[in-house]
Chain A
Amino acid sequence: MLDLTTLVQEDVMTAEHGPLGRLELLQGTLDLIILQTLAWGPQHGYGLTQMIQVRSGDVLQVETGSLYPALHRLEKKKLIRASWERSDNNQRVRVYELTAAGRRQLAAVGSRWERLSEAMQGIMSPSAAEEDA
């Protein structure tokens, strides 16, 4: 069995914006999203918010109040590492990239997430279809 609590908590469903609006993410989920996003290449904080928004089709809005603590937490756990670099328009930015440990973590948690997501799909899809109708 999957341990649901590590990934989704009850609060996630109380998001103000409703199922089709922007979702607020909880820690475990956010960590997974950050790790997955960084898996596509090193990125700075602002770039991450943009990418997550775009990739989730404007559904997921990451609050900076959650993003930066999460980034620093993951850095402390040595799942990602940071370095100062110059951006395209010569702005000094702090760029994050996955570490080897981060990659392993992503693989482990990511597969669990997929199984959870399949399971959720199975449970949720009939009603979701009704709502669409």
Chain B
Amino acid sequence: MRFRLFSRARRDRELEEEIRAHLAMAVRDRVARGEDPKEAEHAARREFGNETLVRELTRRMWGWTWLEALWQDVRSALRTLQREKRFTALVVLTLGVGVGSTATVFGMVDQLLLRPVPGVADPDQAAYVQIEPAPGSDPQDAPGLDVAEFDELRAGTSLLSGIADYGFSGTWQVSADGEHPVVAVMEDIYGDYFGVLGVRPSEGRLLRADESLGDPHVAVISEKLRRELFGDGGKVVGRTIQIDGQSVTVLGVAGDGFEGARRSLPCQMWVPYSALTLYAGYRSVEQAVSVPHYFRHMVARLRNGVRPAQAEAQIRSVLGGISRAHPDDDLAQHVTATLLPGLRVPPGAARRTYAALRIFFVVVGLVLLIACANVATLLLMRNVTRRGLVATRRALGASPGRVARQHLMESALLAALGAVVGVLVAWLVAVPLAGQRVALRMPAFAGFHMDVGVLVFAMVAAAVTLVAFGAGPAMLAGRFDLAGALRAAGGSDTQRMAGIRRIMSAGQIAICITLLTGAALLVRTMRNLYAIDTGMSIDHLATVDIGQPDHLGASTPLPDVYRSLTAAVRNVPGVEAAAMDMGGPLAGRSSTAIAFPESPSRTMEALIRPVTPGWFDVVRLPMVRGSPFREGDWQPGSTPVPMVVTSALARRVFRTTDVVGRTLLAQLSPDGMEETRIVGVSRDVCLPDQPDKPLEAFFVPLASFPVAPVNTLVVRAHSFDQQVGTGIRQAVQRVLPDVVPPDPTPVTAQLGERFTAQSALGRLLEILSTLALILASVGLYSVIAFSVAQRRREFGIRMALGAESNRIARLVLGDAAAIVTVGTAAGILGAYVLSILLANRLYGVAQVDPISYAAAAALFALVAAAACWMPTRAATRVDPVDVLREE
């Protein structure tokens, strides 16, 4: 390209020399024929004709390649855009925000709703079967099937070629070499799970139906987990991996990127149902099988030609038969089944995700609409200010086609720049969204996911806007009424259009204020939540999960193991104190039955917190009455088991906190109730997500609760640096050589995890409100600037008649103030509606929180002032002489 342009300049010089030579020779000939030199020169020039024209005509013969013509148009368009910097920046920014956010959210929807679950063959014939509470029954009678009932269902559903159950069975540390643990999600499966889904192994084999109750020490892993554990090469089939300290043999790898049937929680390893004996605390397969009402989520495959409705009816009728066959089993009476074909809409909790997605969809659709509307306004304004320029170009001989081509090129450049910014915005939006996906129950983004098709869609929308409102009107302006356009470059817009633009701008402001207020409410909620008193002192506390090694307590009594562990950790330099519990101080969702010894059959629910002696000192939970149980107070197998109850539980059960010395029955193992004796009453304990509801919990020695699925070290230290972390790991491994403990997690960080819903929502609202703020300010700017551009003549005349610039400024700002006032009022209304929707996510903030509302309105007022500053200044600097000269 550059080379061609150089060669062009050279040819220009050569042509000039050629013509000079021609003239020189002509003059010389004439002089030789005896003409006067001066006369000869004139004659030669006359004969030659118009030198410029000859050059121009000749140059035309060289021909423009289309590339050169394009380059010329691009350069011309770039110059124009550079001259109108503000206009360019605003259009590009607006387009970028619109295109980028649309592309991301559409990409998410595409991934969640439209794409088939990876690895599943013929997904249209596959379906989720969801066991749900029957209408009118209490959801607390949590319905589900036991193994025998599931077998009956499988036998009775002839319209299905297969049905299998799967269940989430925890997130575990997995390690191939005992050193570098990775975290993976596990599902236990019952039935021909892989056969029903049509998953193919990429290595080895998958679990068969007849293995569901067989050897528990086997697993199938996903391709992702294979890479994380073993890299890309080598043989993995038959190798042993450590899952939570258990040695498990890898049977094979699920192929085609299969990560489970549900999109909401990708899974990396699958174990037979029998493996619940290893991971869920069941002592035998028989016990696991007899657990009632376990199965709730199933997958099925329809036989060819069977309609989903037929299959669903059959499943329901088989379930009805099961209920009738077991009239004593009242839980079986309360279930019904729903078939969700195509594996499109995932069952259960993920439905909320779809509600959230729909809201995103609407908001982002609005964002794109606003962006296009803003671009339209900006372009119309530009066309008004430019009408004179186009007319001048036409008058100087540019063809309408040429003018149109220039405008099209400008539009194309704007669209391209908008796309670049759009990709940037999409990335900025996608990254925090990906970070929040766990809280929102969204599947993993494969890195930075953005659909190219969606980007193209958004680009086309933007390009159509550009052409419709930019190049189109400019072409018309170029074609019609040259003289008129030249005379009245100010032009006039119809009142109706101006009104519509004002309403649009007010609407944008309303959306913006709504989102800003929502964000402010959640930010304030977060601050309140972090300030909550849990009853414990959780600063400088960290937890280390060490799982439940299978030999724990096999050779040494559990209390001794716990004692040596905590002693070893306490000796690590930098560690102040250590104890153990189940899941850390902020855990506490496990409940069990308690009863008075007088009436053991009348059970009550209470939360159970198994802890080692010394735990109360480590977390600094003071006693209101009595004292905590101490080392040596209790030996395994002996009764009564010492117990500490929270004040809240004491109040509920005994109506008083003066309960030291009282006895209770508590179910500490699947075998039955054990006698306990209350030795202390603690201060109330609150979990951060329910600050107003003190836990009704009791504490017993950790060793008395053998089914604890996870043993957690609770460590107090001034700081948890690398050295302390390594020290703790080495200390743990001195006592339990097989365990690979993870790094310590500060409890305050878990506090944050507990607020994921709030923080994720807040983060999204922050992003969306920032986008809305940008768009609304651009919108306001363009409306005001447009009206200033149109009223230039009016302002000029006013000034010529003696109006001061103050007065002009007041005219413009009054216009803006009216729009902002209406928009803010509507926005506050919208914010009120939003705060009702958010009500159950707010804490310590009134729904009508004046601070949040005022903050949002003030922030927007600030931005609005900035947006109005430029056009107002432009209006007050109108030169009456200039305006009148344009007439």
Contact = CB atoms under 8 A, between A and B. Distances in A.
A68 B58 contact: yes
B62 interface: yes
Interface stretch (A86-94, A113-121, A125-133): A86-94
Contacts of B63: 76
Interface stretch (B45-53, B484-492, B515-523): B45-53
A64 B61 contact: no
B49 A92 contact: no
A87 B25 contact: yes
Of residues B25, B29, B49, which shows the largest number of chain A Cβ atoms within 10 Å of its Cβ? B25
Given A76-B63, A89-B28, A68 B57 contact: yes
Interface residues of A, number: 21
A63 B46 CA distance: 11
A110 interface: no
Interface residues of B, number: 23
A64 B26 CA distance: 12
Given A65-B53, A68-B57, A91 B62 contact: no
Interface string A52-74: 00000000000111001111110
A45 interface: yes
B61 A69 contact: yes
A14 B63 CA distance: 29
Contact of A94 (B14, B24, B26, B54): B14
B18 interface: yes
Contact of B21 (A70, A76, A93): A93
Contact of B22 (A45, A73, A89): A45
B21 A72 contact: no
B21 A94 contact: yes
Contact of B54 (A44, A65, A91): A65
A44 B50 CA distance: 20
Contacts of A76: 61-63
A89 B15 CA distance: 20
Contacts, number: 60
B58 A91 contact: no
Contact of A72 (B25, B53, B58): B58
Contact of A46 (B15, B22, B54, B62): B22
Contacts of A50: 29
A46 B49 contact: no
B227 interface: no
A47 B21 CA distance: 11
B62 A72 contact: yes
Contact of B61 (A72, A91, A92): A72
B61 A46 contact: no
Interface string A74-88: 001000000000010
B2 interface: no
B49 A64 contact: yes
B17 interface: yes
B755 to A, nearest CB: 74
A91 B19 contact: no
B18 A45 contact: yes
Contact of A69 (B28, B29, B49, B60): B60
Contacts of A63: 49
Contacts of A91: 21, 24-25
A46 B58 contact: no
Nearest to B17: A92
A65 B22 CA distance: 13
A64 B25 contact: no
A85 B804 CA distance: 73
Contacts of B15: 68, 72
A65 B14 CA distance: 17
Contacts of A69: 54, 57-58, 60-61
Of residues A45, A72, A87, which shows the largest number of chain B Cβ atoms within 10 Å of its Cβ? A72
Contact of B57 (A65, A93, A94): A65
B57 A46 contact: no
A115 B17 CA distance: 40
A71 B716 CA distance: 94
A92 B57 CA distance: 23
Contacts of B60: 69
B21 A46 contact: yes
A91 B21 CA distance: 7
Interface of A: 44-47, 50, 63-65, 68-73, 76, 87, 89, 91-94
16 contacts: A44-B18, A45-B18, A46-B21, A47-B25, A50-B29, A63-B49, A64-B19, A65-B57, A68-B57, A69-B54, A69-B60, A71-B58, A76-B61, A89-B28, A93-B21, A94-B17
Given A44-B21, A73-B61, A93-B18, 17 more contacts: A45-B21, A46-B26, A63-B49, A64-B19, A64-B54, A65-B53, A68-B18, A68-B19, A69-B54, A69-B60, A70-B61, A72-B58, A72-B61, A76-B62, A76-B63, A94-B18, A94-B21
